[in-house]
Amino acid sequence: MQVNPYLNFDGTAEEAFKFYKSVFGGEFITHIRMNEAPDSEKLSKDEQSRTMHISLPIGTDTILMASDILPSMGHTLKQGNNSYLSIHPNSKEEADRLFDGLSKDGIIEMPMEDQFWGDYFGSFVDKYGIHWMINYNKDNS
């Protein structure tokens, strides 16, 4: 089974994914805008330019996916701390690189440091309101 995190944004999915691409590298697998869907002419110009679906590989078996909400269809975005993306890199250096890149202009909750349970861990909210945990365990790499 493969589990892929799926994120929702309020008009900033493309911007956020360009940022994530700058950190993780790689290329988008898919980027479809709302104006490519049937009956999209009924949407406002703003909503037509929003992202219907975007996907970016961020590891061997993980694809980060997202879309923008459509306020005209009654969608509302409620950001909260009820979900995190937990990244498990293969080295301490990669953990630091991901933490430093993704947390830029965000809010650091716990800086990267060795924890009592034996892992090297940090958490933050990125500049788009997405909650992340970076967790390196030397015994699992």
Give the model confidence (pLDDT) of 81-130 as tens digits.
678 898 999 999 999 999 999 999 999 999 999 998 999 999 999 999 99
Closest alpha carbon to 86 in 137, 28, 35: 137
Angle (CA) 23-127-77 rounded to 5° is 115
Domain range list for the chain: 6-70, 84-140
> Sorting pLDDT into bands at 50, 70 and 90, what band is 1?
low
Q: Quick one: pLDDT band at residue 71, thresholds 50, 70, 90?
A: very high
The correct answer on CATH 3.30.720.100 for the domain covering 6-70 is yes
Summarised one tens digit per residue, pLDDT across range 6-59 is: 999 999 999 999 999 999 999 999 999 999 999 999 999 999 999 999 999 998
Rounded-to-integer distance, Cα 119 and Cα 124, Å: 16
Its CATH class, for the domain covering 84-140, is alpha beta
pLDDT at 59: 87
